[in-house]
Amino acid sequence: MLKALAAGWWIFLVRGIVAVLLGLLLWFRPVAGLATLVLFFGAWMLVDGAFTAVGAVARRHENAEWGWMLASGLVSLAIGALTLSAPGITAIVLLIYVAAWAMVLGISQIALGWRIRKEVDNEWMLYLGGAVSLFFGFAVLWNPAAGALGVVWMIAFFAIAYGATLVGLSLRLRGLARRTA
Protein backbone atom coordinates (compact mmCIF):
# COMPACT_ATOMS: atom_id res chain seq x y z
CA MET A 1 0.00 0.00 0.00
CA LEU A 2 2.78 2.42 0.90
CA LYS A 3 4.47 1.74 -2.43
CA ALA A 4 1.23 2.54 -4.28
CA LEU A 5 0.83 5.77 -2.31
CA ALA A 6 4.43 6.72 -3.03
CA ALA A 7 3.91 6.10 -6.76
CA GLY A 8 0.97 8.50 -6.73
CA TRP A 9 2.73 11.21 -4.69
CA TRP A 10 1.89 13.82 -7.31
CA ILE A 11 -1.86 13.37 -6.68
CA PHE A 12 -1.37 14.57 -3.10
CA LEU A 13 0.73 17.47 -4.40
CA VAL A 14 -1.97 18.60 -6.83
CA ARG A 15 -4.71 18.27 -4.20
CA GLY A 16 -2.61 20.24 -1.73
CA ILE A 17 -1.84 23.03 -4.17
CA VAL A 18 -5.52 23.30 -5.17
CA ALA A 19 -6.57 23.42 -1.50
CA VAL A 20 -4.03 26.15 -0.72
CA LEU A 21 -5.12 28.16 -3.75
CA LEU A 22 -8.77 27.78 -2.74
CA GLY A 23 -7.90 28.90 0.79
CA LEU A 24 -6.03 31.94 -0.49
CA LEU A 25 -8.91 32.82 -2.81
CA LEU A 26 -11.39 32.57 0.06
CA TRP A 27 -9.12 34.59 2.35
CA PHE A 28 -8.50 37.45 -0.05
CA ARG A 29 -11.88 37.39 -1.85
CA PRO A 30 -14.32 36.26 0.88
CA VAL A 31 -17.47 37.70 -0.71
CA ALA A 32 -16.81 35.91 -3.98
CA GLY A 33 -15.87 32.84 -1.95
CA LEU A 34 -19.17 32.85 -0.07
CA ALA A 35 -21.12 33.19 -3.30
CA THR A 36 -19.14 30.32 -4.79
CA LEU A 37 -19.76 28.12 -1.74
CA VAL A 38 -23.50 28.78 -1.86
CA LEU A 39 -23.63 28.04 -5.60
CA PHE A 40 -21.57 24.88 -5.08
CA PHE A 41 -24.00 23.80 -2.35
CA GLY A 42 -26.97 24.38 -4.68
CA ALA A 43 -25.36 22.45 -7.53
CA TRP A 44 -24.41 19.63 -5.18
CA MET A 45 -27.98 19.39 -3.89
CA LEU A 46 -29.32 19.21 -7.47
CA VAL A 47 -26.89 16.48 -8.52
CA ASP A 48 -27.32 14.53 -5.28
CA GLY A 49 -31.11 14.83 -5.48
CA ALA A 50 -31.22 13.70 -9.11
CA PHE A 51 -29.03 10.65 -8.47
CA THR A 52 -30.96 9.74 -5.32
CA ALA A 53 -34.35 10.05 -7.02
CA VAL A 54 -33.28 8.12 -10.13
CA GLY A 55 -31.64 5.46 -7.98
CA ALA A 56 -34.79 5.10 -5.88
CA VAL A 57 -37.03 4.62 -8.90
CA ALA A 58 -34.57 2.29 -10.64
CA ARG A 59 -34.31 0.04 -7.57
CA ARG A 60 -37.92 0.23 -6.40
CA HIS A 61 -38.42 -3.52 -6.91
CA GLU A 62 -35.36 -4.35 -4.74
CA ASN A 63 -35.82 -1.74 -2.02
CA ALA A 64 -39.01 -1.65 0.05
CA GLU A 65 -38.03 1.82 1.34
CA TRP A 66 -37.66 3.33 -2.13
CA GLY A 67 -40.39 5.88 -1.45
CA TRP A 68 -38.37 7.50 1.34
CA MET A 69 -35.33 7.56 -0.88
CA LEU A 70 -37.35 9.17 -3.67
CA ALA A 71 -38.75 11.76 -1.25
CA SER A 72 -35.23 12.54 -0.05
CA GLY A 73 -34.05 13.01 -3.62
CA LEU A 74 -36.96 15.29 -4.46
CA VAL A 75 -36.36 17.40 -1.35
CA SER A 76 -32.68 17.73 -2.30
CA LEU A 77 -33.70 18.75 -5.82
CA ALA A 78 -36.06 21.38 -4.41
CA ILE A 79 -33.40 22.75 -2.03
CA GLY A 80 -30.89 22.88 -4.87
CA ALA A 81 -33.34 24.72 -7.14
CA LEU A 82 -34.22 27.20 -4.37
CA THR A 83 -30.56 27.76 -3.57
CA LEU A 84 -29.62 28.47 -7.17
CA SER A 85 -32.65 30.72 -7.72
CA ALA A 86 -31.96 32.81 -4.57
CA PRO A 87 -28.35 32.30 -3.43
CA GLY A 88 -28.31 35.42 -1.23
CA ILE A 89 -31.29 34.23 0.81
CA THR A 90 -29.74 30.76 1.14
CA ALA A 91 -26.56 32.23 2.64
CA ILE A 92 -28.58 34.21 5.18
CA VAL A 93 -30.76 31.22 6.10
CA LEU A 94 -27.69 29.03 6.61
CA LEU A 95 -26.19 31.68 8.89
CA ILE A 96 -29.42 31.88 10.88
CA TYR A 97 -29.26 28.11 11.39
CA VAL A 98 -25.64 28.40 12.59
CA ALA A 99 -26.58 31.25 14.95
CA ALA A 100 -29.57 29.33 16.35
CA TRP A 101 -27.44 26.23 16.87
CA ALA A 102 -24.76 28.25 18.67
CA MET A 103 -27.33 29.87 20.98
CA VAL A 104 -29.01 26.55 21.84
CA LEU A 105 -25.58 25.05 22.51
CA GLY A 106 -24.68 28.00 24.76
CA ILE A 107 -27.89 27.78 26.75
CA SER A 108 -27.50 24.02 27.19
CA GLN A 109 -23.90 24.40 28.39
CA ILE A 110 -24.88 27.03 30.93
CA ALA A 111 -27.78 24.86 32.11
CA LEU A 112 -25.48 21.85 32.41
CA GLY A 113 -22.99 23.88 34.43
CA TRP A 114 -25.79 24.94 36.77
CA ARG A 115 -27.01 21.36 37.20
CA ILE A 116 -23.61 19.89 38.05
CA ARG A 117 -22.19 22.84 40.01
CA LYS A 118 -22.27 20.95 43.34
CA GLU A 119 -20.71 17.80 41.92
CA VAL A 120 -17.88 19.19 39.80
CA ASP A 121 -15.13 21.73 40.29
CA ASN A 122 -14.49 24.33 37.60
CA GLU A 123 -17.99 24.31 36.17
CA TRP A 124 -17.26 27.93 35.28
CA MET A 125 -15.66 26.59 32.09
CA LEU A 126 -19.09 25.38 30.99
CA TYR A 127 -20.49 28.82 31.79
CA LEU A 128 -17.70 30.47 29.83
CA GLY A 129 -18.10 28.14 26.85
CA GLY A 130 -21.84 28.71 26.91
CA ALA A 131 -21.39 32.46 27.08
CA VAL A 132 -18.96 32.41 24.13
CA SER A 133 -21.40 30.31 22.13
CA LEU A 134 -24.29 32.65 22.98
CA PHE A 135 -22.19 35.69 22.09
CA PHE A 136 -21.26 34.14 18.75
CA GLY A 137 -24.90 33.32 17.96
CA PHE A 138 -26.08 36.84 18.81
CA ALA A 139 -23.19 38.39 16.88
CA VAL A 140 -24.07 36.40 13.77
CA LEU A 141 -27.73 37.44 14.05
CA TRP A 142 -26.76 41.06 14.74
CA ASN A 143 -24.47 41.23 11.71
CA PRO A 144 -24.97 38.27 9.34
CA ALA A 145 -22.42 39.63 6.87
CA ALA A 146 -19.67 39.47 9.50
CA GLY A 147 -20.79 35.96 10.45
CA ALA A 148 -20.60 34.88 6.82
CA LEU A 149 -17.18 36.44 6.53
CA GLY A 150 -16.03 34.55 9.63
CA VAL A 151 -17.26 31.22 8.25
CA VAL A 152 -15.53 31.85 4.92
CA TRP A 153 -12.28 32.74 6.69
CA MET A 154 -12.47 29.58 8.82
CA ILE A 155 -12.90 27.50 5.66
CA ALA A 156 -10.00 29.42 4.09
CA PHE A 157 -7.76 28.72 7.07
CA PHE A 158 -8.71 25.03 6.98
CA ALA A 159 -8.07 24.77 3.24
CA ILE A 160 -4.63 26.39 3.54
CA ALA A 161 -3.60 24.25 6.52
CA TYR A 162 -4.95 21.05 4.97
CA GLY A 163 -3.38 21.82 1.62
CA ALA A 164 -0.01 22.49 3.23
CA THR A 165 -0.13 19.12 4.98
CA LEU A 166 -0.95 17.40 1.67
CA VAL A 167 1.98 19.14 -0.03
CA GLY A 168 4.25 18.03 2.83
CA LEU A 169 2.95 14.47 2.57
CA SER A 170 3.47 14.45 -1.20
CA LEU A 171 7.11 15.50 -0.80
CA ARG A 172 7.71 12.73 1.74
CA LEU A 173 6.04 10.19 -0.55
CA ARG A 174 8.11 11.43 -3.52
CA GLY A 175 11.29 10.84 -1.49
CA LEU A 176 10.06 7.36 -0.57
CA ALA A 177 9.27 6.63 -4.22
CA ARG A 178 12.79 7.64 -5.27
CA ARG A 179 14.38 5.43 -2.59
CA THR A 180 12.33 2.36 -3.53
CA ALA A 181 12.70 2.81 -7.31
Distance between CA 29 and CA 92 in Å, rounded?
Answer: 18
Largest pairwise CA distance in the chain: 64
List alpha helices for 9-86, DSSP H.
Answer: 9-28, 30-58, 66-85
Q: Which of 163, 172, 164, 173 is nearest to 8 (CA)?
A: 173
Give pLDDT tens digits along the chain (181 positions): 677 778 888 998 999 999 999 899 889 988 888 888 788 888 988 999 999 999 989 988 887 878 888 999 999 899 889 889 988 777 778 778 778 888 998 898 888 888 877 877 777 887 898 899 898 888 888 887 777 788 788 888 989 999 999 999 999 889 888 888 7
148 φ/ψ sector (left φ>0, alpha ψ -120 to 50, else beta): alpha
